[in-house]
């Protein structure tokens, strides 16, 4: 059974940093592209970033303007998202998703940016 468990979310102040993690199991992580997608009630779903299996190619949403960094550790079956200079508009539920087509998603970790 595929399991994706996100963690690391929480309440932070504007300008602070946060690192999210996604622990993966039940599929061959080291050969899978991975993505982060965020979700809010108001704006819906927004793709954040993606990384290929060997980290050779990395993609980001233009709106992030270099504030976020995606990475992975294939030995640990883990995906990460390091977020800098957080803003109120980054408040969202952050999901990790498997594959170039989003076949499986995790339940998400909630990030709240508020003073």
Partner 1 sequence: DIQMTQSPSSLSASVGDRVTITCRASQDIRNDLGWFQQKPGKPPKRLIYGATSLQSGVPPRFSGSASGTEFTLTISSLQPEDFATYFCLQHDIYPWTFGQGTKVEIK
Strand 34-40 with 44-51, pairing: antiparallel
Query: 48 is written with which tokens?
Result: 């954040």
Choose, by CB under 8 A, the member of 32, 108, 111, 113 that binds partner 1: 108
* Least Å from the CB of residue 115 to partner 1: 28
Among residue numbers 28 through 87, which ones bind partner 1 (CB under 8 A)? 35, 37, 44-47, 50, 59, 61-62
Question: How many angstroms separate the CA atoms of 21 and 93, rounded?
Answer: 13
Q: Is residue 107 near partner 1 by the rule CB under 8 A? A: yes
Size of the site for partner 1 (CB under 8 A): 21
By DSSP bridging, strand 34-40 and strand 92-98 are antiparallel
User: Where along the sequence are the contacts to partner 1 (CB under 8 A)?
Assistant: 4, 35, 37, 44-47, 50, 59, 61-62, 95, 100-108
């Amino acid at each position: 059974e595929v399991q994706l468990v996100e963690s690391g979310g929480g309440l932070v102040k504007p300008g602070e940093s946060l690192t999210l993690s996604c622990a993966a199991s039940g599929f061959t992580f080291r050969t899978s592209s991975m993505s982060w997608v965020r979700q809010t009630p108001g704006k819906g779903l927004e793709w954040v970033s993606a990384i290929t299996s060997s980290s050779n190619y990395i993609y980001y949403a233009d709106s992030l303007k270099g504030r976020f960094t995606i990475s992975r550790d294939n030995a640990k079956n883990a995906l990460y998202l390091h977020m800098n200079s957080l803003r109120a508009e980054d408040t969202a539920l952050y999901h990790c998703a498997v594959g170039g087509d989003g076949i499986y998603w995790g339940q998400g970790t909630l990030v709240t940016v508020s003073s």
